[in-house]
Each structure stands twice: as C-alpha cells, then as structure tokens.
Amino acid sequence: MDLANKSAIVTGGSLGIGSAIALDLAKNGANVAMNYRKHAEEAEKIAEQIRALGRKALVVKADVSSFKDAENMVKQVVETFGRVDILVNNAGINMDSVIWKMTEEQWDQVININLKGYFNYIRAVAGLFKQQNYGKIVNLTSINGMRGKFGQSNYTASKAGIIGLTKSVARELGKFSVNVNAIAPGLIETDMVRSAPEEVRQKALAEIVMGRIGQPEEVAQVVSFLCSEKARHITGEVIKVDGGQYI
C-alpha cells in the first residue's frame, strides 16, 4: 500500500492496537500524528520509531472526549503536515460492570470517549475532506458491538454506536470521495488482554476458530489497506479481524 505523502491522525496511537496502526501507516509512507491523554512517554517512543522510518511524526496532548481538543489537534496537524488525508479513530476505554451495578460515571466515561470521541474527530476533519474531495476514515469498533457481551453494556453500546456512525457518515461523505469504514477486532494480544484472568482468556480463545489470539499488527495491516487506493470502492463496511471468533 503506497501512502507516500499522506498525512494521518491516529487517536490513542501510543499503546496497543493504536501504536501498531501508527507504525504500519508510517511503514507504508504516511506521516502520522497521534494524541495522548496520559501516556506521553509511550507516544514519544512511537513517534521516534516513525521518524526513524523517514516519516514525520507529531504528538499532541488531547482528550478525545473534548470537542475543542479535537478541533485544535486537527489544526495543529494541518499546520505541521500541510493537510490531513486519513483519520483512524482508535482511542477507547472499558469500565466493565453488570448493568445493575454500573454507575452513571462508568456509563458516561465510556460513551464520551468511545463514541463521542469518534464524532469529535470526524466532525473536525469532515470540512477539510469535503473541501479537498478526498479522505479516508477508519473507525475501530469490536465484535462485541455486533453481538453484545455480559458485563459490558456501556462498552458494547459505544461500539455498536460506532457502527451506526460509520454507515451514516459513509453515506454523507461518499459523494466527496471519502471512504468511511470500520474494523471490528476480536481478542487481540494487548496489555489489557495479557492482564486478564487466565480463565477469561481461555474462554475467549475457545471461541476463535483459528485457535490463537490475534496480533495488533494484523489489525493494523487491514487499516492500512482501507486507507489505500486499493480500497477506494469500499465504504460503509464493517470488517471483522477476529480469527472467526464471531462465527
């Protein structure tokens, strides 16, 4: 995938799947901007790796749930890179609880970061993408947003909302040559998954027909494909990267 001279924003690009996405986009030629909220050191390390590939990197402290932070970050990217071509919405959290114990704070925080955060960044780039008649948006959702999961009503609601958001924005921006798609990972080997109780890991692993946990790079490679011209006739889709876990 040739993404030379393209400029990308990856939210939550300092850790896990987000860092793999940022690096894969850079390996395919893109300059990459990432936000962070708490993990400044980790974000800078990824930025150093991007620069070592001969690409430009920008690290911005921004809370994805803040409409103003999203606007300001997009402005910084345009000032630094000259334009924005790609938006990958990846930043997200989980605060699990059964519904009868879930607090208002647990609900609001997950929805504000996982769903409103995606809206904030899409809204911030939409005008630019319309004006330049070009853009690629990839939203990270989850197979659990397609099927539900015990103890994750806030998380699955946010991820289901991302699917609806993706399809609506794909309809709205399609005539401006903007592709909008979603990727729904299953169980992926991240720090969060590695720290999960072994019983939980084994139960999820038993669902995966490929018989192994996915790697962040396997998600990242699909993102790069969707951001390339090889996927120029794909929009409004939700692509599962789950080793058959959803089947």
Neighbours of 211 (CB within 10 A): 9
* CA–CA gap between residue 48 and residue 66 (Å, rounded): 26
- Cα–Cα distance for residue pair 216/17, rounded to 1 Å: 5
Collapse the DSSP code of 176 into the 3-class scheme (helix H, G, I; strand E, B; otherwise coil) and give the result.
helix
Tokens at 247, concatenated: 């089947």
Q: Which of 36, 118, 121, 155 is catalytic?
A: 155
Give the long-range contacts of residues 191-194, CB within 8 A, separation 24 or more: 191/15, 191/16, 192/16, 192/94
What contacts 115, CB < 8 A, 6 or more positions away? 157, 158, 161, 162, 165
**End-to-end Cα distance, the chain:** 29
d(Cα 197, Cα 202) in Å, to the nearest integer?
9
155 is an active site residue: yes
Q: Please give the positions annotated as active site.
A: 155
